[in-house]
Structure 1
């Protein structure tokens, strides 16, 4: 991955979150079928893998035991179209598309492991 520096400050390019999941392959299928991602890869034993959608990538790691859900924020160039597409795919939309008082137009989906994903665009 290429990094840049600005003067004496280091500048990061992007972040890739890693989510704990009960079953990597099942999670990848859920992200593909319900959230419109593509399955990028998984290792031979299926304990880690990734999904991607445009410039967004998410690593998925299989864990034993309980999962503490996390929250992700994903920027969408056209949040209205994203909401229409995910609704058509049967995504679990837990907070409908709306303009929020904090200056975002957003909606929220829950994945198969309980993680919340806020999909948003600036107002």
Structure 2
């Protein structure tokens, strides 16, 4: 795997087959660190569904300065999940 992104607080490694792994110390803009990140085709729709399901949104839908739109929710087990997509 090769380093494809390094913001100091998060580093992403990737291979030629599209596999990625990100390592984070402390999230730069959110109040908590997620335990898992999932990228989706339509982050707005995912956010709408999370709200409709009554999930606790712990980081609002945000266009981040590094080109990602994302939000965090707390699952029923208390774990925080980052859901995002690349900002168009």
- Taking structure 1 as the reference length, what is the TM-score of the superposition? 0.43
Kindly indicate whether residue 61 of structure 2 is the aligned counterpart of residue 97 of structure 1: yes
Q: Note the 1:1-123 alignment, pairs <5 A.
A: 71-123=35-87
Q: Which segments of 5 or more consecutive residues in structure 2 lack a partner in the other structure?
A: 1-14, 22-32
Structure 2: distance between partners of 1:122 and 1:105: 6
Aligned alpha-carbon RMSD (Å): 2.8
Q: Which segments of 5 or more consecutive residues in structure 1 lack a partner in the other structure?
A: 1-8, 16-68
Aligned to 1:38: none
Aligned to 1:31: none
- Taking structure 2 as the reference length, what is the TM-score of the superposition? 0.58
> For the structure 1 residues 118 and 70, does the alpha-carbon distance in structure 2 shift closer, same or farther, using more than 3 Å as the test?
closer
More helix by share: 1
How many corresponding residue pairs?
A: 62
